[in-house]
Structures are given as structure tokens and as C-alpha cells.
């Protein structure tokens, strides 16, 4: 594993020289917060942020994405035949992704990359992307990554881990993809790995918020599902869907056809389990017809179904976005603890 | 990388009105490209996405049987945007077919067993596929007794009537057709499906499986009847429906607990279903 030292004075020119080979996506000021966007030539990723308002999941899973295209013009020989859309899968690098968001992309990969089916859209963007993480030395109050199997220096899902170290950055190449990028940027001075050890310890100590998840896997699904706390936990929910859009591990989507003139596209858009239409049958019957059903689905999915299905822990990386952005202060940390501390009714 | 969202182009080869109220039609599709039919190799009990460019997709059980070659058939109830559009389409029109999707009735397990099939209304499509499969000369000897209880409101609402009449004449399948209330020229049973199941279905034993498909109300009243007849939950097989988009376990909406109806199902035993939230 190569560790490289990058003088901050050489950083901008290095990133800029990458732009011949890579699209660079980095944090930038977007209204009242930071978000990830493609940076123009000469534009530097702005590291003066705690975390971005939206997660960077859209880099591999755009909010709206063309899947297929076709013509409905009956004068054309191939009308009503669906075709692949030509897309840009040239190399790109996301520079400054937080370790929690990188781990989230790894968790979501399990949904899109299965033994039976591969989602080509998600996987091709994933494969085209080099993930350059930025360690968190100043975690937010709402961060609880250390209790979700993640952490401010977590390396999972990253090709490079960067950390700030005074007048320089230290970069740890974690994969071949990462080494290639560092080489292309012309960064080659040897760095000291010890910086990571010390930084990690300090950063982890700053995270004071946590969740308890140890008992989740032992409950029967129906014990948790039928527990009496869901009405209370969902009472204030507006079903606005903010949590699902901000969440780096939420992946649900809708598929729609759109036709303009005689040209049609099949697109997929982010969807949300908070919306009644998500599950409504044509008959009007809705298996998750109340907000209590929908809130329960979201938390059961993240904290029970996912845990049981993949045995890789919970589907939450502790980024705290939903905690900060929920308009009615529903807090996944509280929900998780209530679930984990549930005492099932004794069997009569 | 194969794109599981890309449908096979198909042409509508035939359209048949399936019920007297014209709410159901049977569509016969042929594949436009050579080799696609082989790629679409399916088992009785699976479904596919009927994919209409410009309109959308709808998951429908496959009504034709793996032993029928050269085409695929679906019987479709006119109800939503896509199915209403489909009902207006004509022979010769081109659209897409994506699949086969989901699991199927457990044919390996069912080999050597007696099979009780219970169907109601227009949920008889994959059951038709199954019966045709079992009655095929190459397969009939693999199964024990076959009993079929099939009910609809009126004689005109029964699907696949010509075949039902033929099956009635055979001695290697016991048909128990029924309609809700008396009708002229009806020579078979009268009464709801659960009642006729109670009267005609064989008692359970370790070698008998029941496959049940129908509207929720039929299922609700049939399950206690099966219990009285001694059927254990792992011998009762059901096929579920939920709203779907991707059909391949990715889009996130059709789950019941950790099971995805589109990929882990739609076929489940009652034993499995009883371990999951009733979100279907």
C-alpha cells in the first residue's frame, strides 16, 4: 500500500492535470450547503465542508437516468423496438467523498450486483469511477458512523484515502485504480502512514453519538414488525421523503416512459418508500397504505431485513443526513435503539 | 454485460377475447428475433414484463406452457394504464417482452406427488400453464393424481373454456368446475370455490400438494378448508402479486419483509408466507 505526501501548493495543479483523463467530481458550494458536482477545468474541490447536503450516490445512481430509447413513428422500420442508450462511461474521479458515503456505495452495490442480475447502468458508472476519500477530522454532532461498522477513516469502498496534514495532504492508495490516479496526477513523494493512525484515533474520539444494533439480528422479523412502538415512532412523519433522498444507502427507483413527438425514452427516477403510490396496486389496494406502514418499512428495511439478508450489519452508515434534515425530527438513532431494546411479548 | 431491462421485441400474433364481459383478452406473442424464444425459456409459474414502448410495463403471469413452442401467451385483465392500452392494440403490433421473471412452482419437489390445483376467477393463467405442462405425454407419468377446482362467477367468466371441456373428458385429471350461482345449461358444480374444495378435494397426505391462486377473498376462505382436509402449511403453495417495476429484485417496492415477490417469489409456500409481514 503506497502512501504519498502531497504538498498543498502542488495540489491544484495535480488535480488540474488529471482533468485530461478524468472528469473530476468534487464538493462545491451549492446554495446554502455543499454538494458534489462536476468541476470545471481549474476549479478545485472545496474541502471546507463537514459533509454535503445530498449524498454523492447520484454519481453512480443519477436521480433521473435514461435507460432505453425508441421511436413510436410507425413509418420507421424499427418503431416500438427498445434500444440501449449511448452513454458516457469515461473515467471519472470523485475527490473528497467522505468514508461513510463510500461505504454506503459499497452497501448499495449488493443490491445492483447480484448473482442473478447485474444492473448495467449502476455498475458501469461504478466501474468508471475512482473514489478518492477525504478522512473526517471534524465529524458533525449528528455523526454516528463508528457504531455502524464505519468510521471517519474507514477505507471500505475507497480507492484512495486522503487526509489533511498541515501544509500537505497524505494519500493512501488502497487499490490499483487509486495508484493509477495518483500517478496520473504526478504525485509521488513518499508520505508517512503514521499520520493516519493518529488522525483516526483523534477523529473517532470526537464521535460521541451512537446506535445499538447488537440484538437486531436475533429478533424474529414478525416480533419487530408487530411491535407496539411503530405508531408512536411514525406519528409525526409527513411522508415527505426527504430522508430517502438524502440517504446514501436508499436506492429505490421507479421506471417511466416519456415520449416527445415520436421519440421515446424509458427512464428511471429515484423513488421513495415514503410515497403511497410506491406500492399501490391498480385495484387501489395498498399493502403499505398508511404512513405507519411506510415508516416501518423504511426502518425495518435498513435495520432488520437488510441485516438478515446480507449479514453485513445495518443499511446505515451513520452520516446523520436524515437526522439533520427531517422536518419533524424523526431520528434513526432513536428508532434503532427502540428496535434493539425491544422486549417481545412472551409466547402464550 | 447483459441488460436485464432490455425487452425482447415481439409481435402480437393473435388476440382472443377470454371472458364474456370482454375484460380479459389472451394475447399470443411471437419473437421477432431468432434465438430470443430459446433465451426466454421458462417454467410454469413464472411471469414476465409486458413492455409497451411509450406506455410502460406490467408484470403478468405466463399463461402458455413450456411444452408449447413457437409463441408465448398471456391473459390480461383490463385495469390500469398499460393493460388498457394493450387491450386496444391490434394483431401485428410490435412491443416488448422482458423475462422470464421470478421463481416457479417447485416442479422438482412436485415430481411423484399428487397435485391439487385450486383457482378462482382470472388467476387461472399460470395454473393453466401448469396443467398443460403436467398433462403433456412426456410429463404425465411424473405426477400422481391431479385434481383441479376452478371457479368463476358465471360460465362465461371461466378462462380457457375449450380446454376445460377437453380436460373434463380425460380420465387422468379430475376436474371440479364451479360457478357462483345456477345458470342454464351448466352441468357441473354450483357454489363458491372454497365450498367445492371442501366437497371434492382429496384429503391431504404426505404426498399431496395444493397450489392455490385466486382473489384474496377466495384464498382467505380456502385456506381453512385445506387445513380441515389436513394440508400442512409447507404443502400449500401460493403465488403472490405486488406492484412491481424492475422485476429483478432491484427497485425496492414489492418486498414482504426481506423476501422480494418479484425475485424470491412470486411462488411461496404458506409456511414461508406466515414468516413474513402480510404486505401484499
- Is the CB of B2 less than 8 angstroms away from the CB of A68? no
Asked if the structure places residue B80 within a domain, the reply is yes
- Domain final residue, candidates B100, B118, B149: B100
Q: In chain A, which residues have their Cβ closer than 8 Å to the Cβ of B5? A: 67-68, 120, 255, 266
How many structural domains is chain B composed of?
Answer: 2
Select from B1, B2, B5, B121 the residue whose CB has the most chain A CBs within 10 Å, as the one to mutate to test that interface. Answer: B5
- CB neighbours of residue A90 within 10 Å: 9
The verdict on B85 and B169 lying in the same domain is no
Partner residue opposite B6 with nearest CB, options A82, A111, A117? A82
The partner residues of B105 in beta bridges, in order of sequence, read none
Q: Which domain holds residue A304?
A: 216-340
Partner residue opposite B252 with nearest CB, options A80, A222, A273? A273
The verdict on A198 and A147 lying in the same domain is yes
| Residue B27 pLDDT grade (very low, low, confident, very high; cuts 50, 70, 90) | very high
Asked if the structure places residue A233 within a domain, the reply is yes
Distance from the Cα of B177 to chain A's closest Cα (Å) equals: 26
- Is the CB of A82 less than 8 angstroms away from the CB of B279? no
- CB neighbours of residue A209 within 10 Å: 18
Q: Which domain holds residue B28?
A: 8-100
| Residue A344 pLDDT grade (very low, low, confident, very high; cuts 50, 70, 90) | confident
* pLDDT at position A346 over 90: no
- Domain final residue, candidates A171, A206, A241: A206
| Mean pLDDT (whole number) for A180-194 | 91
Residue of B nearest to A282 (CA): B80
| Residue B189 pLDDT grade (very low, low, confident, very high; cuts 50, 70, 90) | very high
C-beta of residue A143 within 8 angstroms of C-beta of residue A318: yes
Q: Measure the CA–CA gap between B143 and A47, rounded to whole angstroms.
A: 68
The verdict on B88 and B211 lying in the same domain is no
- Is the CB of B54 less than 8 angstroms away from the CB of A221? no
- Is the CB of B5 less than 8 angstroms away from the CB of A256? no
- Is the CB of A82 less than 8 angstroms away from the CB of B53? yes
The verdict on A143 and A267 lying in the same domain is no
Residue of B nearest to A306 (CA): B258
ipTM for the predicted complex = 0.93
- Domain final residue, candidates B60, B85, B100: B100
**Pairing status of strand A83-84 against strand A64-71:** antiparallel
Cα atoms found within 13 Å of the Cα of residue B29, Cβ hemisphere only: 31
**Pairing status of strand A168-173 against strand A160-165:** antiparallel
Partner residue opposite B5 with nearest CB, options A67, A114, A252? A67
Q: In chain B, which residues have their Cβ closer than 8 Å to the Cβ of A123? A: 1
Q: Grid coordinates 462511461 are at which residue?
A: A89
pLDDT at A38 (0 to 100): 96
pLDDT tens across B86-119, in order?
999 999 999 999 999 999 999 999 999 999 999 9
The verdict on B117 and B233 lying in the same domain is yes
- Is the CB of B279 less than 8 angstroms away from the CB of A297? yes
The partner residues of B74 in beta bridges, in order of sequence, read B27
What is the average pLDDT value for chain B, to the nearest integer?
A: 96
pLDDT at B1 (0 to 100): 75
C-alpha cell at B43: 417454467
- Is the CB of A80 less than 8 angstroms away from the CB of B242? no
pLDDT at A137 (0 to 100): 94
The verdict on A156 and A227 lying in the same domain is no
| CATH at residue B73 | 2.40.30.10
Residues 6+ apart with CB under 8 A from B196: B149, B151, B176, B178, B189
| CATH at residue B233 | 3.40.50.80
The verdict on A254 and A155 lying in the same domain is no
The verdict on B30 and B130 lying in the same domain is no
The verdict on B171 and B151 lying in the same domain is yes
- Is the CB of A259 less than 8 angstroms away from the CB of B96? no
How many structural domains is chain A composed of?
Answer: 2
* pLDDT at position B67 over 90: yes
As a whole-number percent, the residues of chain B with pLDDT over 70 amount to 100
Asked if the structure places residue B266 within a domain, the reply is no
Asked if the structure places residue A211 within a domain, the reply is no
The verdict on B48 and B141 lying in the same domain is no
- Is the CB of B245 less than 8 angstroms away from the CB of A254? yes
* pLDDT at position A347 over 70: no
What is the average pLDDT value for chain A, to the nearest integer?
A: 95
| Mean pLDDT (whole number) for B187-194 | 95
| Residue A348 pLDDT grade (very low, low, confident, very high; cuts 50, 70, 90) | low
- Domain final residue, candidates A184, A206, A228: A206
The verdict on A221 and A251 lying in the same domain is yes
The verdict on A263 and A165 lying in the same domain is no
Ramachandran angles phi, psi of B8, nearest 5°: -75, 135
Q: Grid coordinates 429484485 are at which residue?
A: B249
Select from B103, B252, B262 the residue whose CB has the most chain A CBs within 10 Å, as the one to mutate to test that interface. Answer: B252
- Is the CB of B9 less than 8 angstroms away from the CB of A300? no
| Residue A42 pLDDT grade (very low, low, confident, very high; cuts 50, 70, 90) | confident
C-alpha cell at B121: 376467477
Partner residue opposite A255 with nearest CB, options B242, B245, B279? B245
Amino acid at each position: 500500500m503506497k502512501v504519498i505526501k502531497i504538498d498543498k501548493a502542488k495540489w491544484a495543479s495535480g488535480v488540474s492535470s488529471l482533468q485530461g483523463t478524468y472528469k473530476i467530481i468534487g464538493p462545491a458550494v451549492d446554495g446554502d450547503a455543499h454538494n458534489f458536482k462536476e468541476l470545471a477545468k481549474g476549479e478545485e474541490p472545496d474541502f471546507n465542508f463537514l459533509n454535503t447536503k445530498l449524498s454523492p450516490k447520484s454519481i453512480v445512481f443519477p436521480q433521473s437516468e435514461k435507460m432505453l430509447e425508441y421511436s413510436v413513428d410507425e413509418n420507421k422500420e424499427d418503431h416500438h423496438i427498445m434500444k440501449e442508450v449511448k452513454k458516457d462511461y469515461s473515467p471519472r474521479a470523485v475527490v473528497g467523498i467522505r468514508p461513510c458515503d463510500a461505504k454506503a456505495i459499497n452497501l448499495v452495490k449488493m443490491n445492483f450486483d447480484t448473482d442473478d442480475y447485474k444492473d448495467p447502468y449502476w455498475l458501469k458508472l461504478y466501474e468508471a469511477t475512482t473514489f478518492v476519500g477525504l478522512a473526517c477530522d471534524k465529524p458533525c454532532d449528528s455523526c454516528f458512523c463508528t457504531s455502524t461498522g464505519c468510521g471517519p477513516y474507514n477505507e471500505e469502498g475507497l480507492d484512495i484515502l486522503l487526509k489533511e496534514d498541515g501544509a500537505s495532504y497524505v494519500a493512501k492508495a488502497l487499490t490499483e485504480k487509486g495508484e493509477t490516479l495518483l500517478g496520473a496526477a504526478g504525485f509521488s513523494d513518499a508520505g508517512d502512514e503514521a499520520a493516519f493512525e493518529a488522525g483516526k484515533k483523534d477523529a473517532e474520539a470526537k464521535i460521541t453519538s451512537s446506535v445499538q444494533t447488537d440484538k437486531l439480528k436475533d429478533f424474529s422479523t414478525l416480533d419487530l414488525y408487530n411491535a407496539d412502538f411503530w405508531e408512536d415512532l411514525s406519528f409525526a412523519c409527513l411522508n415527505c421523503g426527504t430522508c430517502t433522498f438524502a440517504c446514501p444507502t436508499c436506492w429505490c427507483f421507479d421506471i417511466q416512459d416519456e415520449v416527445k413527438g415520436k421519440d421515446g425514452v424509458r427512464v428511471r427516477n429515484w423513488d421513495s418508500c415514503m410515497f403511497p403510490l410506491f406500492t399501490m396496486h391498480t385495484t387501489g389496494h395498498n399493502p403499505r397504505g398508511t404512513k405507519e406502514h411506510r415508516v416501518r418499512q423504511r426502518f425495518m428495511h435498513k435495520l432488520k431485513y437488510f441485516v438478515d439478508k446480507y449479514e453485513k450489519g445495518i443499511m446505515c452508515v451513520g452520516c446523520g443526513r436524515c437526522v439533520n434534515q427531517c422536518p419533524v425530527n424523526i431520528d434513526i438513532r432513536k428508532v434503532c435503539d427502540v428496535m434493539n431494546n425491544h422486549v417481545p411479548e412472551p409466547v402464550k | 454485460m447483459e441488460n436485464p431491462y432490455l425487452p425482447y421485441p415481439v409481435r402480437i400474433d393473435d388476440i382472443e377475447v377470454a371472458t364474456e364481459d370482454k375484460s380479459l383478452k389472451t394475447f399470443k406473442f411471437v419473437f421477432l428475433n431468432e434465438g430470443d424464444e430459446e433465451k426466454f425459456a421458462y417454467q410454469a409459474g413464472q411471469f414476465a414484463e409486458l413492455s409497451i414502448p411509450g406506455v410502460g410495463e406490467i408484470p403478468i403471469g405466463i399463461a402458455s406452457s413450456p411444452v408449447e413452442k413457437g409463441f408465448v401467451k398471456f391473459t390480461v385483465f383490463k385495469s390500469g394504464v398499460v393493460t388498457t392500452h394493450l387491450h386496444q392494440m391490434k394483431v401485428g403490433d410490435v412491443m416488448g417482452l422482458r423475462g422470464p421473471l421470478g421463481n416457479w412452482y417447485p416442479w422438482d419437489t412436485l415430481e411423484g406427488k399428487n397435485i391439487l390445483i385450486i383457482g378462482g376467477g382470472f388467476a387461472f393463467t399460470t395454473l393453466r400453464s401448469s396443467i398443460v405442462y403436467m398433462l403433456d405425454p412426456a410429463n404425465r407419468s411424473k405426477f400422481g393424481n391431479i385434481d383441479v377446482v376452478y371457479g368463476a362467477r358465471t360460465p362465461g367468466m371461466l378462462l380457457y373454456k375449450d380446454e376445460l371441456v377437453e380436460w373434463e373428458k380425460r380420465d387422468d385429471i379430475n376436474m371440479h368446475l364451479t360457478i357462483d350461482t345456477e345458470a342454464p345449461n351448466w352441468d357441473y358444480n354450483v357454489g363458491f370455490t372454497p365450498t367445492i374444495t371442501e366437497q371434492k378435494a382429496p384429503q391431504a397426505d404426505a404426498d399431496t400438494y395444493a397450489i392455490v391462486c385466486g382473489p384474496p377473498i377466495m384464498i382467505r376462505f380456502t385456506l381453512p378448508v385445506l387445513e380441515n382436509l389436513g394440508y400442512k402449511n409447507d404443502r400449500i403453495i401460493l403465488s403472490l402479486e405486488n406492484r412491481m417495476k424492475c422485476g429483478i429484485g432491484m427497485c425496492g417496492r414489492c418486498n414482504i419483509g426481506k423476501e422480494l415477490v418479484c425475485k424470491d417469489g412470486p411462488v411461496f409456500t404458506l409456511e414461508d408466507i406466515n414468516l413474513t409481514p402480510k404486505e401484499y
